[in-house]
Every structure is written in structure tokens, then in C-alpha cells.
């Protein structure tokens, strides 16, 4: 009996020892703890399956982590939930390689990107073998070390806002992929019709190769996506034309039809973003047209003013011996002035021309009121007003 109990006790101690040893050797995840649909047990190699890549899969879990590599030791690049769909392009053990879902982003070292001054959202790679890293809201750019692909000189990237430290946040370039657990992907249909070629990237030091082919998502058999890409191409073609020759009405109509179609799926969602771009170009075009119209209206007004000025000059009579000619009127401002009486000379438009003051004594000049007269005298400055002052020694009625 004693020997049996001794054997049992030894077995229990050995089992406890191996349990502790296995617990110590379990790799820890780099990301913060999250309540997700990922398996909590270590992943084991999956049995080979008959899935043909690429294929469209539907997410069956909630808050399933998207990771920068095939394993829980890679950092999280976002989360996705049912009934969202992904395009799976490969598999490694129990992890599926997918195209970056909407909202994904990448990092690139800004030293190797030349920003287009006319299009600050577009960057041009200025070197070869420039690494693009999987982006995450939970990991700083400098600590995001999962390489998605390499870019070569002259390739373009779409910049998402200002630089963060030494890095630009960019839309994942064509060719970039991410990973998620295969456990929560349900096969929907084959995506063989999509022309997708994924570059093989070996992230080990000195072994990163350029992609032979970047990803091209063109679903030729899907009429909605085909129509969307057609409109996208038409938009690019219109942008190359002079602004006054650009026409967006057809593109706008087709995009609105895609958005309204309940079966358009991803194409409808993409069309919403493209329609906003079209609206921006239309606004710029309309603004230019309005500016051109305003310039034309101003030019027309200037020409009319100049013409009127010329006509007015031709109607101005030759003053000849007169210092001023116009309608003779009493001055309401100076009518109570007792020393030297002043009068007002107005033009044919009723606008005052000058004040007038007789240098000789006249008994009464009221007979000239509201009549066209010519004053013989001298034009002087008037310290009491902004108008000139004509000091006249003779007044004559003008014949009409």
C-alpha cells in the first residue's frame, strides 16, 4: 500500500512540474489585452484544406484582431466583426493572409518620400527598396516593425495627414497584406476572377525582395465593381484635361446609381468616397467659372465707365473766356453771410462744381438764378470748403 501511494504522489508532482514548465514557455502577445474572438490556446498547424486562393470570406466572430503577421505575437492592426467580409489570399497554419480592410493604414519613413507641392496628399518614393510597415493605432510608428512590402523609386503613395515623428501615415499600397485567424472566416465564394498576385516577402535581414507584381483588385466578372473602376478611370482621365473642359455629369450619375443599388456591396461604398472627390472637382470648376464671369462683368463695367467718360468729355463745352460755366444758384450755406455773398455753380447733372464770389458790387443777381451762365474771373482755392472758389468780376447769360 505504501509503495502504491508513493508512486501516485510522484506522478502528481511530475504533472504539476510539467504544467508549470509549459506555462512559463507560452509566448506573450505584444498588444494590450482585449476581449476578442481569437483563440486563447496556442495555435497548432492546421490540416491542409482544399480552399483555392483568393476567396471572399465572411467574418463570423466579434472584434476579431487583424494582425501584422501570422501569429498572436504580432501586433494588432485593428479589429473586424461579423458580417464584414475580407479577401483571403493565402494561409499559414491557422492564420489567413488578407487584403487590408477599409480603415487600415501603413507607415513609411518620410525621408524617402517627396511630397507633391500641388497635391500634398500624394507622395513619390525617392529611393529603391523602401520599406512599408503595417500600421496600428496601438503601436508607435517607430515600433511598428512588420514589413508589408518594398517600394521602388517613382512609385506613389497616398498620405493620410501630417507626419508622425519621422513617418508618414499612408493608405496601404497595392501589394500590402495583413493577417487574421482562419477560425473566424467563413468561405463565401471564389475570387479567382480577381487578378491578384501577392508578392512573396521574406522579412529576414538581407532577404527582403521587391514584389514582382503589385496587387490589382479588378473584379472583371462583378459588374458593380467593374462599373466602379470604370468611373474611377474616367475621373482620372478628366483630371488630366484643362479645368474648363472637364465634364463630371456622367461620372456623377453612374456613381449615384451604384450607391442607390442595394446589391452593389463594396462598389457602392467605394462610390460614396469617389462621389465626394467628384463634388470637390466640380466645386473647383464652378469656382473658376464664377471667377471668370466676375472678371468679365468687371471688364464690361470698366469699358462702360470709360465710354461714358469719353462721351462726357465730348459734351463739355469750350470754356473759352469763362473761368466756369454752369447753372447759377444761391448758396444755402452762405446765404446769411453779410460781408461778401457767395453763390453756387452746378453742372448739368446737378452736382456742385464750385462756389462763386463777385469781386465787384452787384445790386442784385437773383435774375441769374437757375440759369446757365458763364463767369469771367479767376479760379482759387477755398479754405472754407472742398470745392474751388471762382472770384468773378463779370457774369454773362449763355445762349441755348
The domain locations on the chain are: 55-217, 222-315, 324-397
Measured between its terminal Cα atoms, the distance across the chain in Å is 151
Answer for the pair 68, 141: CB distance below 8 angstroms, yes or no. no
How far is residue 94's CA from residue 64's CA, in Å, rounded to a whole number?
A: 14
How far is residue 20's CA from residue 24's CA, in Å, rounded to a whole number?
A: 6
Read off the pLDDT band of 108 (50, 70, 90): very high
The Cβ of residue 5 has, within 10 Å, a number of other Cβ atoms equal to 9
Q: Which residues contact 78 (CB under 8 A, 6 or more apart)?
A: 65, 66, 101, 103, 104, 136, 137
Read off the pLDDT band of 311 (50, 70, 90): low
DSSP 27: P
How far is residue 17's CA from residue 385's CA, in Å, rounded to a whole number?
A: 112
Res. 27: pLDDT tops 60:
no
How far is residue 67's CA from residue 178's CA, in Å, rounded to a whole number?
A: 6
Q: Give all strands (DSSP E) within the chain, no chain letters.
A: 55-59, 64-67, 76-80, 85-92, 95-98, 106-109, 113-115, 122-125, 130-134, 147-151, 156-158, 167-170, 178-181, 185-190, 324-330, 342-346, 352-358, 371-380, 388-397
DSSP 159: B
Residue 303: what pLDDT? 83
Residue 316: what pLDDT? 52
How far is residue 196's CA from residue 200's CA, in Å, rounded to a whole number?
A: 13
Q: What angle do CA 296, 304, 325 make, to 5 degrees?
A: 160
Consecutive H or E run containing 305 = helix 266-315
Write the pLDDT tens digit of every residue in 160-185.
988 999 999 999 999 999 999 999 99
Residue 217: what pLDDT? 38
Mean pLDDT of 70-92: 93
Give φ, ψ of 334 to 5 degrees: -110, 15
Query: Residue 194 pairs with which residues in a beta bridge?
Result: 219
Of 3-12, 128-137, 284-293, 353-362, where does the model show the most confidence?
Answer: 128-137
Res. 198: pLDDT tops 80:
no
Mean pLDDT of 312-317: 55
Res. 216: pLDDT tops 60:
no
Amino acid at each position: 500500500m505504501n509503495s502504491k501511494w508513493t508512486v501516485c504522489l510522484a506522478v502528481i508532482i511530475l504533472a504539476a512540474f510539467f504544467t508549470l514548465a509549459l506555462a512559463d514557455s507560452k509566448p506573450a502577445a505584444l498588444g494590450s489585452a482585449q476581449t476578442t474572438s481569437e483563440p486563447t490556446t496556442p495555435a497548432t498547424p492546421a490540416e491542409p484544406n482544399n480552399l483555392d486562393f483568393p476567396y471572399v470570406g465572411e467574418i463570423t466572430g466579434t472584434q476579431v484582431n487583424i494582425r501584422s503577421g501570422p501569429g498572436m505575437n504580432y501586433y494588432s492592426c485593428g479589429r473586424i466583426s461579423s458580417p464584414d467580409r475580407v479577401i483571403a489570399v493565402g494561409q499559414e497554419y491557422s492564420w489567413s493572409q488578407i487584403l487590408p480592410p477599409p480603415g487600415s493604414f501603413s507607415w513609411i519613413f518620410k525621408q524617402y518620400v517627396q511630397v507633391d507641392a500641388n497635391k500634398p496628399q500624394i507622395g513619390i518614393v525617392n529611393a529603391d527598396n523602401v520599406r512599408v510597415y503595417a500600421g496600428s493605432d496601438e503601436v508607435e510608428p517607430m515600433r511598428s516593425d512588420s514589413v508589408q512590402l518594398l517600394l521602388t523609386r517613382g512609385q506613389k503613395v497616398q498620405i493620410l495627414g501630417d507626419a508622425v515623428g519621422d513617418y508618414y501615415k499612408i493608405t496601404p499600397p497595392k501589394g500590402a497584406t495583413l493577417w487574421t485567424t482562419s477560425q473566424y472566416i467563413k468561405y463565401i465564394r471564389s475570387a479567382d476572377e480577381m487578378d491578384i498576385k501577392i508578392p512573396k516577402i521574406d522579412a529576414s535581414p538581407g532577404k527582403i525582395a521587391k514584389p514582382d507584381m503589385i496587387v490589382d483588385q479588378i473584379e472583371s466578372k462583378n459588374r458593380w465593381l467593374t462599373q466602379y473602376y470604370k468611373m474611377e478611370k474616367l475621373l482620372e482621365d478628366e483630371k488630366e484635361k484643362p479645368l474648363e473642359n472637364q465634364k463630371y455629369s456622367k461620372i456623377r450619375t453612374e456613381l449615384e446609381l451604384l450607391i442607390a443599388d442595394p446589391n452593389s456591396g463594396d462598389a457602392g461604398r467605394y462610390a460614396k468616397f469617389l462621389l465626394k472627390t467628384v463634388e470637390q472637382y466640380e466645386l473647383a470648376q464652378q469656382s473658376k467659372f464664377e471667377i471668370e464671369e466676375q472678371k468679365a462683368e468687371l471688364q464690361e463695367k470698366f469699358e462702360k465707365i470709360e465710354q461714358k467718360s469719353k462721351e462726357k468729355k465730348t459734351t463739355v463745352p469750350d470754356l473759352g473766356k469763362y473761368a466756369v460755366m454752369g447753372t447759377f444758384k444761391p448758396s444755402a450755406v452762405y446765404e446769411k453771410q453779410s460781408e461778401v455773398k457767395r453763390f453756387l455753380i452746378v453742372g448739368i447733372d446737378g452736382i456742385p462744381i464750385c462756389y462763386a464770389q463777385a469781386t465787384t458790387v452787384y445790386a442784385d443777381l437773383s435774375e441769374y438764378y437757375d440759369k446757365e451762365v458763364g463767369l469771367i474771373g479767376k479760379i482759387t482755392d477755398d479754405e472754407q470748403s472742398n470745392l474751388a472758389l471762382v472770384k468773378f468780376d463779370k457774369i454773362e447769360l449763355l445762349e441755348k
